[in-house]
Amino acid sequence: MEQAFKRTQILTNHLLQSSPSSQTLSSNACLSYSPPELSENYAFDIKDMRKLIDRHNLEERDWLFGLMKQSKLFNPKVRGGKVFVSPDYNQSMEQQREMTLKRIEYLLEKGAFKGWLTEKGEDIEMRKFAGFEVCSIYDHSLFTKLGVHFFLWGGAIQFFGTKHHHDKWLRDTENYWIKGCFAMTELGHGSNVRGIETVTTYDSNTGEFVINTPCESAQKYWIGGAANHATHTVVFSQLHINGTNQGVHAFIVQIRDADGNISPNIRIVDCGHKIGLNGVDNGQIWFDNVRVPRENLLNSVADVSPDGKYLSSIENPDQRFAAFMAPLTVGRINIAISSVYQSKVALATSIRYALTRRAFSLKQNEPEVLLLDYPSHQRRLFPLVAKTYAMSFAANYLKMLYVKRTPQSNKTIHIVSSSFKATFTWNNMQILQECREACGGQGLKTENRVGQLKGEYDVQSTFEGDNLILMQQVSKALFAEYMAAQKRNKVFKGLGLEHMNKPCPVIPLQLTSTTLRCSQFQMDALCLRERDLLNRFVADVSKCKAKGESSEQAFMMCYELAQDLGKAFSDRAIFQTFVDAETTLPAGSLKDVLGTLRSLYALICIEDVSFLQYGYLSVDNGANVRREITKLCTELRPHALALVSSFGIPDAFLGPIAFNWIEANAWSSV
Amino acid sequence: MISRLLELFLAYEEDPNVKLVMLKGEGRAFCAGGDVVAVVHDIWAGGWRAGANFFMKEFSLNYLMATYSKPQVSILNGIVMGGGNGVSMHGRFRVATENSVFAMPETALGLFPDVGASYFLSRLPGFFGEYVGLTGARLDGAEMLACGLATHFVPSAKLPMVEVALCDADSSDPVIISSIIDQYCEKSSLKEQTVYNRLDVIDRCFSQRTVEEILSALEREVVDQRDGWISATIQTLKKASPTSLKISLRSIRVGRVQGVGACLTREYRMVCHVMRGEFSNDFFEGCRAILLDKDKNPKWEPSKLEHIADTTVDRYFSKVKDEDWEDLKLPTRSKFNLPPYVIAKL
């Protein structure tokens, strides 16, 4: 009502003042907003480019975007005549959690999650990925609450459980008749899952497991969904049978009844306010000798008989643990992919802004220069666009790898997903920061999205696998591959390491522009670094072990090489997917622009300090690389709008500064 | 008429003496739409390109109106359907009266809601746009105002006064124009049976992923409540061309996240495919049954929703495979000072 009254006052003032014509604002000497659509051209069909980078389920994505845009639950706001949807981060923690749950209930009612747990096959898995990606574009809290419920809780039932678990829990989970969470992390143990301190014993008299938190460091921590809403959880615990610790196992425990009352012998406390992701109710959980039926053990890998005997088809506890944990890979994949979409939101917003925002004239009486016409601004943002395109292709490769998985490919999936998750999430934080700065003060405004995304997504570098630990695993895996290849007559197979079987690539002494843009040279350079670093790493680790150090100690001491090797592997693997995507295209402007982008991605990898440090490039050639990067950025300038429009993110999901930011902030709008 | 309107609108934009453009109809309609029969005859005589030509001009006019640098006021005192919506809904102001009757009835004809309807229908509240576009439902003036298709409701008796007041004001300022029309507005009450009171059912059903699921959802609602309106809606959908329903739904959903130019470009591709009869002859069969022979018994082919694959629907959205064919060329707007409400639509 107040708004209506205010409007009436304004209109009355208009009418009561002198003749209308003197009211019109003259456009002299005043900045006006000129939409980039009218001044920039598309050299290629952005629909084709979107199909290339989104790859699958475009209709499903657009339907979900539409569902969110059309509902008041998603906080629509009009700015400059356009509707934007984005959570209200100014709400309290409690309010944000309620809204997140309401949004989930809305999407559930509309059938967005149909078949997510009860259908099988490649189609539904791809549809899930697409749906999940769209949810992440709206809000990380929405994505995370869904992820915990469907992929962690639901995934645990699917992959750690057996038929009777599937029959009992999957449909109820899909329909949200129960709400699940995933209690693995403890106050004292995150990355080292095998070291968790929750203890479970078996009471053969009653046929029950007894789950207990023996000390404060054993309390479950950061358990998403636990503080307010979850009714059930999968608890990870050491299993002691007849005095022997059989290692980590998972048990279903009810933690709340349908009315929201916490179950007996369970204590739950809210983890408290976070720097982001406050729409997720993370909880701390204590189990005080909680009893659950024997059937609640998720027994796909091991079981306990009614009379208390431990049974497992896998003898070796290390292998048993690896088999147990393998299904968690999909969580890592989802996180890797979602980070790429945040980079897209940030880049689309900041590049569109830079296409309409001006600062400083080069000569007197000339109009000020568009931000994106400055080489320095291009240099900041276009390499990030190249990285984002590269990550898109790599993400699609990873999805296909997962969807077409076999028991033999599990190891590859584990390594590639670890590498990509670490790389993508680190890249995303870098991209978000740069885009925030590129938007200047407007980047601080929550509703402009870019700055807010930093706090929301920061957690990605440490959850679902700490990035540094993941990259260490990559380097250890590469070491193991090297050792295995030695046994196979030095033949490398898998993980794209086949280039090791060929002669060592040679970098030409003189790097001309043509050479620098040649995909063969680019691949050679990246393979050379990976090859050399792997050789050095193996040599150094072997030297340590020869001195009597254990494998673990040797790896620890060679951590610098391990880090560089992990990066080398990731860059090369990602680049390969870019090249593969480019080759599928017919000749034309789309392929040309993508080729330029591909070169830019390759050269920013090659610009990395490791190439000079380890001597793969001379100082002069290093300078040639940098010069070429600047040239490529200039060439990409005319394609800036087309490249970000191809991300396929609807206007409503970007920040208002991507559009008419003058009108969005005009007096008549506020 | 399209050519003449294009000429006039182009001329008025350059003429500094023209402050705003008012459009009204003579007789009992604002505009009942394009002469579909004439288009069909043109196609029989000159091939699909003759039809394409008409739509190209019409959609260009629609785009021009959507991005016009001066306000357009359309006086919708009567029937406004099909192409009539194309020349009014994109304008800044749409004045409904007690005589207004709105519809986009194309799915009954084997066509789809075009003229930029995928833009303006998709932006109605909730999933009302899907309902209106798929069923061809008729809306009165009050309903048009309630959902945003109309910006004002003025009783027809006061229309002459509105015209005089706008001419006297001699202004291009939308705030002033709006407040002038406001002075003659009257509160319009929705009739008791209004479909606007059924938004909860409409949202539940018309938000579904596919046409088949929309129908299933409607059928479930009928079981719960014995409701004449829902049964009638189901019947209307069952009588429409299945191909039209599928491409219309996709068009509205895609249009929801596109600018007005992209919508019209896409609709032009779709209408070319329709006229070429590449995947279905429904447009011609619909015109025959409803407009020519008037037996109201069109024989759609494919006759069942299940027989229309997603890949076929996809094809309506792709470029036409013909050497001489080009995507719709939208008139350039960059040299004009476009008002913010236009910029927001791009």
- For residue A66, give the nearest of B253, B259, B346 by CB distance: B253
Integer-rounded Cα radius of gyration of chain B = 20
**Is residue B330's pLDDT more than 60?**
yes
Distances (CA, A) of A356 to A342, A434, A445: 22, 18, 18
pLDDT of residue B114: 96
| Rounded CA separation B111/B152 (Å) | 30
- Containing A495, the helix (H) or strand (E) segment is none
Amino acid at A329: T
- Containing B301, the helix (H) or strand (E) segment is none
Chain B residue with minimum CA distance to A106: B204
Dig out the tokens for A64 from the structure: 């979900």
Q: How far is B150 from chain A (nearest CA, A)?
A: 17
Which residues does chain A have within 8 Å of residue B256's beta carbon, measured at their own beta carbons? Answer: 62, 65-66, 69-70, 650
| Rounded CA separation A532/B318 (Å) | 48
Say yes or no: B341 contacts chain A, CB-CB below 8 A. Answer: yes
Q: Give the phi and the psi of residue B25 in degrees, each rounded to 5.
A: -100, 160
Q: How far is B312 from chain A (nearest CA, A)?
A: 14
Q: Do B343 and A69 touch (CB under 8 A)?
A: no
pLDDT of residue A24: 53
Chain A residue with minimum CA distance to B208: A110
Which residues does chain B have within 8 Å of residue A20's beta carbon, measured at their own beta carbons? Answer: 169-171, 173, 176
Instruction: Single out the catalytic residue among B78, B83, B136, B141.
Output: B83
Q: Do B173 and A20 touch (CB under 8 A)?
A: yes
Which of residues 87 through 116 in chain A touch B, CB cutoff 8 A?
Answer: 109-111
Which residues does chain B have within 8 Å of residue A60's beta carbon, measured at their own beta carbons? Answer: 209
Say yes or no: B17 contacts chain A, CB-CB below 8 A. Answer: no
Say yes or no: B302 contacts chain A, CB-CB below 8 A. Answer: no
- Catalytic (active site) residue B46: no
| Rounded CA separation A185/A217 (Å) | 11
Locus of tokens 């809780």: A153
Dig out the tokens for A619 from the structure: 């100082």
Say yes or no: A121 contacts chain B, CB-CB below 8 A. Answer: no
- Catalytic (active site) residue B106: yes
- Choose the weakest-confidence range: A15-19, A394-398, B287-291: A15-19
Which residues have C-beta within 8 Å of that of residue A513, sequence separation ≥ 6?
A: A628, A631
N-terminal to C-terminal alpha carbon distance within chain A: 15
Instruction: Single out the catalytic residue among B42, B58, B114, B130.
Output: B114
DSSP B120: H
**Is residue A32's pLDDT more than 90?**
no
Is B23 within 8 Å of B65 (Cβ atoms)?
no
Query: For B106-112, what is the mean pLDDT?
Result: 96
pLDDT of residue A23: 47
Taking all residues of chain B, what is their mean pLDDT, rounded to a whole number?
Answer: 95
| Rounded CA separation A57/A50 (Å) | 11
Taking all residues of chain A, what is their mean pLDDT, rounded to a whole number?
Answer: 94
**Is residue A65's pLDDT more than 90?**
yes
Say yes or no: A592 contacts chain B, CB-CB below 8 A. Answer: no
Say yes or no: A652 contacts chain B, CB-CB below 8 A. Answer: yes
Q: How far is B250 from chain A (nearest CA, A)?
A: 8
pLDDT of residue A556: 94
pLDDT of residue A22: 47
pLDDT of residue B335: 79
* Burial bucket for residue A100 (CB in 10 Å: 0-12, 13-18, 19+): buried
Say yes or no: A60 contacts chain B, CB-CB below 8 A. Answer: yes
Q: What are the tens digits of pLDDT across the range A155-212?
A: 999 999 999 999 999 999 999 999 999 999 999 999 999 999 999 999 999 999 999 9
Distances (CA, A) of A83 to A666, B65, B90, B199: 16, 21, 17, 21
Q: What are the tens digits of pLDDT across the range A559-609?
A: 999 999 999 999 999 999 999 999 999 999 999 999 999 999 999 999 999
pLDDT of residue A419: 97
pLDDT of residue A26: 47
Which residues does chain B have within 8 Å of residue A9's beta carbon, measured at their own beta carbons? Answer: none
Query: For A361-367, what is the mean pLDDT?
Result: 91
* Burial bucket for residue A178 (CB in 10 Å: 0-12, 13-18, 19+): middle
Report the Cα A418 to chain-centroid distance in Å: 12
